[in-house]
Structure 1
Amino acid sequence: MSEATVVLHQVGGPGTGDEHVFTERTTCLLGRAAECMPRLPDDERHRTVSRHHCLLDINPPDIRIRDFGSLNGTYVNGRKIGQRARNQSPEEGAALDLPEHDLADGDEIRIGDTVFRVGRSAPTLRLRPARCAACGRDTADEADGRDGSYVCATCRAEPGMVLRQLLALARQGGGAVASLADYELSAQLGRGGMGTVHLARHRGTGREVALKLMLPKVAASTRARALFLREVAVTRTLHHPNIVTLHEVGFAGGTFFFTLEYCRGGSVEDLLGRRGGRLPADEAVPLALQALSGLAHAHAAGVVHRDLSPGNLLLDHGPDGRPVAKVADFGLAKAFDQAGLSGLTRTGTTAGKPSCMPRQQIVNFRYATPEVDVWGLAACLYKMLTGRYPRPFPPGADPWQVVLQTPATPLREVAPHLPRRLAEVVDQALREQPVIGFPDAAAFAAALREAL
């Protein structure tokens, strides 16, 4: 076999003999709802199956399962892994702290009368190097069966150290990182689960850039690197006053590095922190319109961001001193995830809250149309206007189940002082069924302008 694969063999119930083959990073909802895949029959024999019963997180050859607090439970090898009480609603079931389970080759999943047997396969002749690409430490104890460059867990926990090592390598004449040789690090601008961002200054020109490092959580195979870098290459073609410019891209020492336009005003998230959590409409809406201008340019070029948040709406200063919003990280996080480089990240509360994500992206992991950016930007504007996100995420609730089951709270229920027409436009943008309220950023922006 030339590539890692996960197969769900249906060995019991209606559809016995069917196979569902996965060769790429994805997630699957199992249940009776029309958007589930595999979908279980919505008939009398399957009334014990919930509409959204459980979630599979797949990154071949790895697969993980999480029950969504279903009424009758999910069984793995005959053992129940999750179930809500009879007197609990689906929303209460979603708030249960149910464990995640990694699945092995041959494990069986039973949901009602339907049984799936898991098949996992990976190339056996190409094994991941036994040493960390960053520090050289033996990583045999972390082996996952993947081939490619790998950064150990210790180095991933210290991304700043890895970045300094790359700069040292560049100054020694390291070919892949030669473009970084003349940069000097300054302050750390941010740090997350995938890496770090530092302010850096070019010694020759004095130009300041944001130097970003992204660390794969699994071995970065040649195929995964090519897939990710192909996506990144598309975003480098975007040039617009409201899009952060991506200058350089590279891969070395098991890590990806980028130099990006530096925005001195920080992010909208930072601004909200300085301003007590919210902004007046006459300040928030212009920032949203600027971001929508950048998104509209990207959408016209066939590029969708897919991961908007107040943290990646950055702020610079215009010629008149007023803040200018710029959309950052265009597609980087989603492309990284889709290339399988972030490992298994979709199950459980450890994956974070998808506060600016529409349900379309939960139902279909690869859903990437401009309307998802409409919802994401509307969620950012909602946050700017109210200090909270459109959906409440109760403590302990499974965030993905919340997105599936909970529509956005109408804006004026949270902020009744806001103009009615503005609220109507934002609410329309946050509509998810049957489709998101505006097809693209240009349409949303036009409606916002009319509402002012």
Structure 2
Amino acid sequence: MTAPATVTLTVVKGRLEPPDYVFDARTTCVVGRSPDCSPRLPNDDHHRTVSRHHCLIDINPPDIRVRDFGSLNGTYVNGEKIGQRSAGLTPAEAAGDSYPERDLTDGDEIRIGETVLRVGITRQVTRESVTCAKCGRDVGEKMHGRDGEMLCASCQSEPAAVLKLLLELARGGRGDLAAIRGYTVIRELGRGGMGAVYLARHESTAAEVALKVMLPRTAANATARTRFLREVALTRALTHPHVVALHDAGFADGTFYLTTEFCTGGSLDRLLAKRGGRLSAEEVVPLAVQALHGLEHAHQQGVVHRDLTPSNILLHPRPDGTMTAKIADFGIGKAFDQAGLSGLTRTGATAGKPMFMPRQQVVNFRRAEPAVDVWALAACLYNALTGKTPREFPPTKDPWQVVLQEPAVPIRKREPGVPPALADIIDHALQERPQIGFLSAAELRRELERV
């Protein structure tokens, strides 16, 4: 069996324990003097100019990238400064600037204050490139160091064409595509950074499903495929009126596919867009309570969503005209990322904005407690009532630094019309220091039901 690629950060100058930090799986590190950093630099005379949250190291072995947060004294790579805030600016003021980042290679050295870390990279394979599983084109040297299947950038930009081919192969009898045999695509339902989702109808039963294709940004080897599909199986076991049912999942020709229950009312974010960005408390609080019931069930089964936003709170109309809320994609996005299939997602031009993510999830990428979902659900409720997210995310400000440093804005500062009792509950739910306000979905649900 091929050994996994690894990234090692070795302390070559300074006093850190342990002297080696070895990473063989997808992760991120926030480096600085704050107690929640890892590696945490000492708070001594040699590191007075090191910021509490100094820089971010984004790792997806064998790839590694460092990003400075606008620190007081800068971050250095091989003696070259890659980021530093201007003289006279506070950390908050400097956050409005844009700071560079650097892809790192084997042997590079990162200096932060008086501490120096050397990068060591061991690669999984030695071949120079991977060919596209759909068109056969060379994916390029960027894939050096990984084995497995993926699609080229051109094919990834056309998920509908990818799905069309998969359905044709399924119709031709491919065993690894039996779960989607007989389906016809009706229309696209949505698209994101990892792929797209479509409404599909079975030709013989007329059953409708949401058919999602997820396209890896790195070569999907057997280990990554197994890891991701194992996490998907946990979601598949969830059965609850307020959780979108996952029917089937698989992998073929560089593409993951999933079929799920189709909710005809669309997603919460689309409803908000139709209503001018806001809903009344009378309408949205019952939806939040229903979603919390779904969270309770999943958490009891040991499944944490880790990526809850208004786009994956789906709605299904009831005969009386009201809506049933169902949570989709439990753990799917994060499992995809943690299996290393998303590439580097915390840095680069395509990095997402953590608008519905608590700081606990930024400083501890791999470990996610149920409370992070409770915070995210409260953030969704806040968004539905105000049309805004709990934190401000200016376009020039590093979003990860915002989450690390900025608390949620009290909701009545955004929307004075929110009832005081409800506002108190939401503000408490969005607390993060020293811990998240409500640690369980049941706690927040009971408080919302009370008001």
For Structure 1 versus Structure 2, the TM-score category normalised by the shorter chain is over 0.9
Structure 2 distance, partners of 1:112, 1:291, is 46
Match of 1:48 in 2: 49
CA-based RMSD of the aligned residues comes to 1.4
Q: 1:68 to 1:163 in 2, by over 3 A?
A: same
Q: 1:16 to 1:316 in 2, by over 3 A?
A: closer
> More deviation in 81-90 or 209-218?
81-90
Q: CA deviation at 1:322?
A: 1.3
Q: 1:154 to 1:57 in 2, by over 3 A?
A: same
Q: CA deviation at 1:122?
A: 1.1
Match of 1:28 in 2: 29
Decide whether the 8 Å contact of 1:242 with 1:294 is kept in 2: yes
The SS at the match of 1:282 is helix
Please list the CA deviations of residues 349-406 of structure 1 after superposition, one character each: whole Å capped at 9, or x if unmatched: 6312111000000000012111000100000000000000000011210000000000
Decide whether the 8 Å contact of 2:16 with 2:41 is kept in 1: no
Decide whether the 8 Å contact of 1:129 with 1:147 is kept in 2: no
Q: TM-score, normalised by structure 1?
A: 0.97
The SS at the match of 1:326 is strand
Match of 1:295 in 2: 295
Tell me which amino acid in the other structure corresponds to 2:353.
K
Decide whether the 8 Å contact of 1:129 with 1:150 is kept in 2: no
Q: CA deviation at 1:101?
A: 0.8
Decide whether the 8 Å contact of 1:265 with 1:317 is kept in 2: yes
Decide whether the 8 Å contact of 2:5 with 2:145 is kept in 1: no
Match of 1:429 in 2: 429
Match of 1:371 in 2: 371
The SS at the match of 2:337 is helix
Match of 1:233 in 2: 233
Tell me which amino acid in the other structure corresponds to 2:54.
H
Structure 2 distance, partners of 1:95, 1:11, is 33
Match of 2:250 in 1: 250
Matched, 1:116 2:123: no
Decide whether the 8 Å contact of 2:130 with 2:147 is kept in 1: no
Please list the CA deviations of residues 149-183 of structure 1 after superposition, one character each: whole Å capped at 9, or x if unmatched: 12111111111111111011111111111221200
Q: CA deviation at 1:17?
A: 8.0
1:276-295 equivalences under 5 Å are: 276-295=276-295
Match of 1:408 in 2: 408
Q: CA deviation at 1:331?
A: 0.6
Matched, 1:15 2:16: yes
Decide whether the 8 Å contact of 1:30 with 1:38 is kept in 2: yes
> More deviation in 89-98 or 190-199?
89-98
Structure 2 distance, partners of 1:140, 1:75, is 29
Structure 1 distance, partners of 2:84, 2:326, is 44
Q: 1:260 to 1:241 in 2, by over 3 A?
A: same
Structure 2 distance, partners of 1:196, 1:54, is 32
Q: CA deviation at 1:30?
A: 0.7
Decide whether the 8 Å contact of 1:212 with 1:258 is kept in 2: yes
Structure 2 distance, partners of 1:287, 1:378, is 12
Please list the CA deviations of residues 285-304 of structure 1 after superposition, one character each: whole Å capped at 9, or x if unmatched: 01111111111111111111
Tell me which amino acid in the other structure corresponds to 1:31.
G
Please list the CA deviations of residues 282-334 of structure 1 after superposition, one character each: whole Å capped at 9, or x if unmatched: 00101111111111111111111010101110111124231111101111000
Q: CA deviation at 1:16?
A: 8.5
Match of 2:307 in 1: 307
Structure 1 distance, partners of 2:213, 2:197, is 6
Structure 1 distance, partners of 2:248, 2:128, is 28
Match of 1:138 in 2: 138
Match of 2:351 in 1: 351
Please list the CA deviations of residues 34-77 of structure 1 after superposition, one character each: whole Å capped at 9, or x if unmatched: 01111100112211100000000000111000000001100000
Match of 2:264 in 1: 264
Decide whether the 8 Å contact of 1:12 with 1:113 is kept in 2: yes
Match of 1:210 in 2: 210
1:142-157 equivalences under 5 Å are: 142-157=142-157
Structure 1 distance, partners of 2:444, 2:36, is 26
Please list the CA deviations of residues 85-140 of structure 1 after superposition, one character each: whole Å capped at 9, or x if unmatched: 12112122222211221000000000111000000111236x48742112222334
Structure 2 distance, partners of 1:57, 1:190, is 28
The SS at the match of 1:270 is helix
Match of 2:443 in 1: 443
Structure 2 distance, partners of 1:83, 1:203, is 60
Tell me which amino acid in the other structure corresponds to 2:94.
G
Decide whether the 8 Å contact of 1:129 with 1:148 is kept in 2: no
Decide whether the 8 Å contact of 1:129 with 1:149 is kept in 2: no
Decide whether the 8 Å contact of 1:281 with 1:385 is kept in 2: yes
Decide whether the 8 Å contact of 2:125 with 2:147 is kept in 1: no
Tell me which amino acid in the other structure corresponds to 1:176.
D
Structure 1 distance, partners of 2:139, 2:47, is 46
Q: 1:50 to 1:349 in 2, by over 3 A?
A: farther
Match of 1:79 in 2: 80
Please list the CA deviations of residues 15-34 of structure 1 after superposition, one character each: whole Å capped at 9, or x if unmatched: 38811111110000110000
Identity of aligned residues (%): 60
Match of 1:275 in 2: 275
Decide whether the 8 Å contact of 2:143 with 2:218 is kept in 1: no
The SS at the match of 1:243 is coil
Match of 1:381 in 2: 381
Q: TM-score, normalised by structure 2?
A: 0.97
Q: 1:211 to 1:128 in 2, by over 3 A?
A: farther
- Which consecutive residues of structure 2, in runs of 5 or more, have no partner in the other structure? none
